[in-house]
Structure 1
Amino acid sequence: MTLHIETPALLFSATSLILLAYTNRFLTIASIVRGLKKTYDEKENKTILLEIKNLNLRLTLIRYMQLFGVCCLFLSVFAMLLLFIDLQVISLYFFGLSLLSLLTSLGLSFWEISISVNALRLHLSGLMDDNL
């Protein structure tokens, strides 16, 4: 099997966009947590504390999503370097690891989105029950 130097380069644009999306999610959730923390300090509502814990889990997942996304990019570049110095077989393994890192990042992203959707459903369930 032959790997061409252009193949690992294909991951650059996709990985960069994914990392940008992850960063935006992180910044949005961090802002919400700060607001909820301020509200919790004023009211000490247990529901707010549960929301903060949920958001903290999501922040942790996003951090790992970013970590594996950066690993994907790093391993792709390293595979290209190995191809450049004509180490074909080793570059295949590093490219495979980069794909595995990308899959891990996307899997964590799916988990984080599932948590988000479940939290929103729970949050809206009271509204739906009251209006039915």
Structure 2
Amino acid sequence: MAMDLTTPALLFPAISLLLLAYTSRFVVLTNVIRQLAAMPDAPPDLVARQIDNLGGRLRIIKWMQGLGVASFICCSLSMLFLFLGSRTAGHWAFGISLGLLVASLVCSLLEVQRSTHAIEVEIQAFRDRTTQP
């Protein structure tokens, strides 16, 4: 397969945007956790469940970020190897970069599923409050 420097370079904007989105999610979740912890009137069991869920989501986001950064590094190494004329190493580094990017996206999917669960907890709590006499 013919591959030049521009092939791995195509991933740079995509990986950069993903890392930016992951960081944004991380910041939003940390703010939500701080707000929940500062709510004295909220039911403690609901807050505890939400904070547990959010903590799990933060761990997943850290994995997403780590895999994204590793993908970025491998993509950079791929370009370096291709620049130095080592096509085989460049192909391997690019393949590893793609694999890490896919793993990062799978973690993102898991985080989205977990966030959906958090919303379901909120909906159930709302229903419980509105159906009580």
Asked if Structure 1 and Structure 2 have the same fold, meaning a TM-score greater than 0.5 normalized by the shorter chain, the answer is yes
Deviates more, 1:5-14 or 1:113-122: 113-122
Q: Kindly state the Cα deviation for residue 39 of structure 1 after the two structures are TM-superposed.
A: 2.5
2:34 matched residue in structure 1: 34
SS in 2 for 1:2: coil
Aligned residues: 130
Distance 2:66 2:46 in 1: 30
Deviation of the 1:29 alpha carbon: 0.3
* Aligned counterpart, 1:5: 5
Residue by residue over 1:43-99, the C-alpha shift from the partner in whole angstroms, topping out at 9 and shown as x without a partner, is 671221111010000000001100011111110010000000000011101100000
Amino acid of the residue matched to residue 67 of structure 2? Answer: F
TM-score between the two structures when normalised by the length of structure 2: 0.90
Q: Amino acid of the residue matched to residue 2 of structure 1?
A: A
Query: Does structure 2 conserve the Cα–Cα contact (< 8 Å) formed by 1:73 and 1:98?
Result: yes
The SS at the match of 1:4 is coil
Decide which structure has greater helix share: 1
How does 1:109-124 map onto structure 2 within 5 Å? 109-124=108-123
Q: Quickly say closer, same or farther: Cα 1:110–1:120, change in 2 above 3 A.
A: same
Q: Greater CA deviation, 42-51 or 27-36?
A: 42-51
2:65 corresponds to: 66
Partner residue of 1:125? 124
CA distance in 1, matches of 2:6, 2:81: 13
RMSD of aligned residue pairs (Cα, Å): 1.9
8 A contact 2:46–2:125 mirrored in 1? no
